Structure 1
Amino acid sequence: MISSGQLRAARALLGIDQKTLAERAGISLATIQRMETSGDVVRGVVDTLTKVVAALEESGIELIGENAQSLAGGRGVRLKPKHPEAG
C-alpha cells in the first residue's frame, strides 16, 4: 500500500513534520513514528493506513504504486528500479 520511504518523502514534499501528519490523519504521533521506521512496506491496521493515505491525498500528495503510471500529470519523483550489479 505505502512504503516507509514514500511516507517520509510525502511529508518532505509537504514540508510537514510527523506531528502534523498525525494530527491530519487523526492518529497518534507514535503511530507515524512506527510507520516511518518500519521495513519497506508499512504494515498496520488497515483503518489507520487508510487514514494516513487519505490525509496525504487531501494535502495534495499522489501516491504512485510500483509499475503504475501517474495519470494526473504534474511534477513528481519516483525511485528507479534496483538493478543487480554486473559482476
Structure 2
Amino acid sequence: MISTRQIKAARALLAWSQHDLATKSGVSYPTIARLEAQDGQLGGMASTAKKLCAALEAAGVEFTNGGQPGVRMKAPFVEVT
C-alpha cells in the first residue's frame, strides 16, 4: 500500500505540483489535494491510487515498500555493448 507521504515525496522528486500530477494522472486536483491532506495510507478508490502511481512511475519514480517504505528515481537505462 502507498502512503500519502510517498505520493508527496514522489512529486517532490519530480518537482511536480498537485496540478501537474492531476494533469499527468487524469485524477482531479481537488481529489489529489483531499487525499494528500490526510496522513497515513493513501485513501480513496483503488483505481485512483493506481492512476496516481502509474503517472509517477511513468515519470521515473520507483516506490519502495518493505521495511522502510519510500520513493526513489529509477536508475537510468544504460545500454551495454
Moved runs in structure 1, 4+ residues, more than 6 A? none
User: What is the identity percentage for the equivalent residue pairs of Structure 1 and Structure 2?
Assistant: 40
Structure 1 gaps of 5+ residues are 75-87
Distance 2:50 2:17 in 1: 19
The CA deviation at 1:39 is 2.2
Secondary structure of 1:40's aligned partner: coil
Structure 2 gaps of 5+ residues are 69-73, 76-81
Distance 1:66 1:33 in 2: 26
Q: 1:25 maps to which residue?
A: 25
Amino acid at match of 1:52: L
Q: In angstroms, what is the RMSD of aligned CA positions?
A: 2.3
Specify the structure having the higher radius of gyration (Cα): 1
Distance 2:42 2:66 in 1: 14
Q: 2:79 maps to which residue?
A: none
Length-normalised TM-score, structure 1? 0.74
The CA deviation at 1:33 is 0.6
Alignment size in residue pairs: 73
